[in-house]
Chain A
């Protein structure tokens, strides 16, 4: 790259530069190589647990209990996956997790979008209080709430019911959903809506025809994120559901067999749970990363 830049520079400034440049760029290249080596080291360290999960999941079970394991794949087999599906009912928990997560997302997005609209497009008394409250609610450590939530659902007759779990998760994702959607709405120029209203749309019409289509990518990203949150939750699923109605995370955490924990099938189970989530996460990560600290630098 610097090779193409040098001639034109050399033409402008004849004497010292060309001599100094190659030496400098060589040193630069050497330090760059050093950084690259460090970077690769980070790659290996950070990526290793994921690699080892996949590696264990597909290697023959007897190689998984080798006290001196080979770091490279030793074979390719699906028997661990078959065993994981056999040991305990897998599709039941996954089905329940799906029902819960999808319901939470659908309700959460609908309710959250209305709230986000209210705080981003209307001026009213108490608006700021609502915003601060929603931000603050996000900060409540949910682990601390398990006792009263458990008692509440117990009183409402919602213990061990999927609906109770859905209601609970809804409160977990709502503050975040409102906050993120608000960010997306605020970035849609108000003038577009006004133009539509000038052209004869009602306020609702303007929203449905103008804002909603522009908001769609944001809605998708927020939904996926909410889905992941609900899918990954463990403590409340453990506490609010009985063994017979466990969800996927509880299934994985309870993964033991008569012979103790069989790690190879367990890693197969972990892989089955992680892959769809990681893929979903990859799709929305770029959009969501900014959420919690949005605007921190630009301010």
Chain B
């Protein structure tokens, strides 16, 4: 809505008053000057579309065809043509218990990260409304600094924080009475190691959530909160019945984006495990990478990547629907 309004201010009361039934029609009638036909806009779009089709569209198609082919080292070097094997790759992948373990691990990791990120983000955003100005500035500086940290830098820093012998995390915990964690290796077990990686992912993701939710919170009308309070709502009631519904579109979008990002976590796991994630650290992305570039079975690797994309499609659909609903696309 905001976008459409600013484009054509005041010019278009007529189409507005008429009930605008199909979403396409008002969009077009709001852009009345279709000067010069369609050649100019398509010409302007051409370079962009060309790049996207060649380096994104074509590989996407190739990903699908690859997943139906036997494609290994000899096909890569061109010694043998790729052989079509139908659903063999999918049958192998889906019939593998390890694959399902990886799927479950990825989902648990992603859902855990998203919930952790959203709850922490919401709490910090609400907290920032209540603190003094100077505290808010301090927190914002820390948030933006952690947000701006390159992922690889953040990963190496966390590797250092959680180092078994000299890591400051073990040292700090060991100062507590009765705790001795010096020399504890967090990456000896999958769940503990993934918890550390989750912490890293959440640490990197929270700032975006806090700042976006913070911007959203400023849009919640004070009068509505006041009215709810007069009607006897407590702090939780005001949040549950006033703040939350108003923020819902933002929350939906942040959640869907977070799911997409956290399902696609790669460098954090890969670099944390020095380029060779152990079996209990594999998530879908590293598993697909391993199958392709370590085992040299590009067909199976593509099949796994394709399954990942399909798993995400539902989430992407929610995001797109939300974008369309708020009229950003007009």
Residues of A within 8 A of B (CB): 31-32, 35-36, 38-40, 42-43, 46-47, 49-50, 52-53, 56, 64-69, 71, 111-112, 114-115, 117-120, 122-128, 130-132, 134-137, 139-149, 151-152, 154, 167-168, 170-171, 174-175, 178, 183, 186-187, 189-190, 203, 228, 231-232, 234-235, 239, 249, 252-253, 255, 261, 263, 266-267, 270, 273-274, 277-278, 280-282, 285, 289-290, 292-299
B44 lies within 8 A of A149 (CB): no
Instruction: Report the minimal beta-carbon distance from A124 to chain B, rounded to whole angstroms.
Output: 4
Kindly state whether residue B308 has any CB partner on chain A within 8 Å.
Answer: yes
Q: Is the CB of B1 within 8 A of A141?
A: no
A-chain residues with CB within 8 Å of residue B247 when the two chains form the complex: 297
| Residues on the B chain within 8 Å of A294, using CB | 2-3, 328
Q: Report chain A residues within 8 Å CB of B155.
A: 253
Whether the Cβ atoms of A249 and B166 lie closer than 8 Å is: no
Report the nearest A residue to B266, measured CB to CB: A143
Minimum distance in angstroms from B48 CB to a CB of chain A: 4
Given A278-B145, A292-B257; A42-B127 close (CB under 8 Å)? yes
> Which chain B positions have C-beta within 8 A of A299?
1-2, 249, 325-328
Count of chain B residues with Cβ under 8 Å from any Cβ of A? 122
List of A residues within 8 angstroms of B161 by Cβ: 49, 52
User: Taking the nearest CB of chain A, how far is it from the CB of B42, in angstroms?
Assistant: 7
A174 lies within 8 A of B48 (CB): yes
User: Taking CB as reference atom, which chain A residue is nearest B150?
Assistant: A232
Evaluate contact between A152 and B44: CB separation under 8 angstroms: no
8 A–B contacts from the bound complex (CB under 8 Å): A46-B146, A49-B203, A69-B171, A118-B41, A146-B289, A147-B298, A183-B3, A261-B159
Contact call B316/A118, Cβ cutoff below 8 A: no
Min CB distance B158 to A, Å, is 7
Q: Mark B119-134, 1 if CB is under 8 A from A, else 0.
A: 0000010011011100
Contact (Cβ within 8 A) A281 B148 = yes
CA distance A168 to B56 in the complex (A): 8
Whether A145 lies near B157 (C-beta < 8 A) is no
Report the nearest A residue to B199, measured CB to CB. Answer: A49
Closest CB of chain B to A236's CB: distance in Å? Answer: 10
Q: When A and B form their complex, which 9 residue pairs have the shortest distance between CB atoms, in order from nearest?
A: A281-B148, A299-B326, A123-B31, A148-B59, A47-B142, A115-B48, A122-B41, A118-B44, A148-B62
Is the Cβ of A36 less than 8 Å from the Cβ of B264? Answer: no
Question: Which interface residue of A117, A290, A292, A297 has the most chain B CB atoms within 10 A?
Answer: A297
Across the interface, B60 reaches (CB within 8 A) one of A47, A52, A112, A145, namely: A145
Q: Can you name the residue of chain A whose Cβ is closest to the Cβ of B4? A: A186
Partner of B216, one of A46, A52, A267, A296: A296
Separation in Å of the A45 CB from the closest CB of chain B?
A: 9
| Partner among B32, B45, B141, B156 whose Cβ is within 8 Å of the Cβ of A114 | B45
B28 at interface (Cβ–Cβ under 8 A)?
yes
Given contacts A232-B151, A297-B216, contact A171 B158 (CB under 8 A): no
Q: Are A297 and B250 in contact (CB under 8 A)?
A: yes
Of A39, A49, A132, A249, which one neighbours B157 at CB under 8 angstroms? A49
Residues of A within 8 A of B163 (CB): 263
Contact B219 A297, beta carbon cutoff 8 Å: yes
- CB pair B320–A289 under 8 Å, yes or no, is no
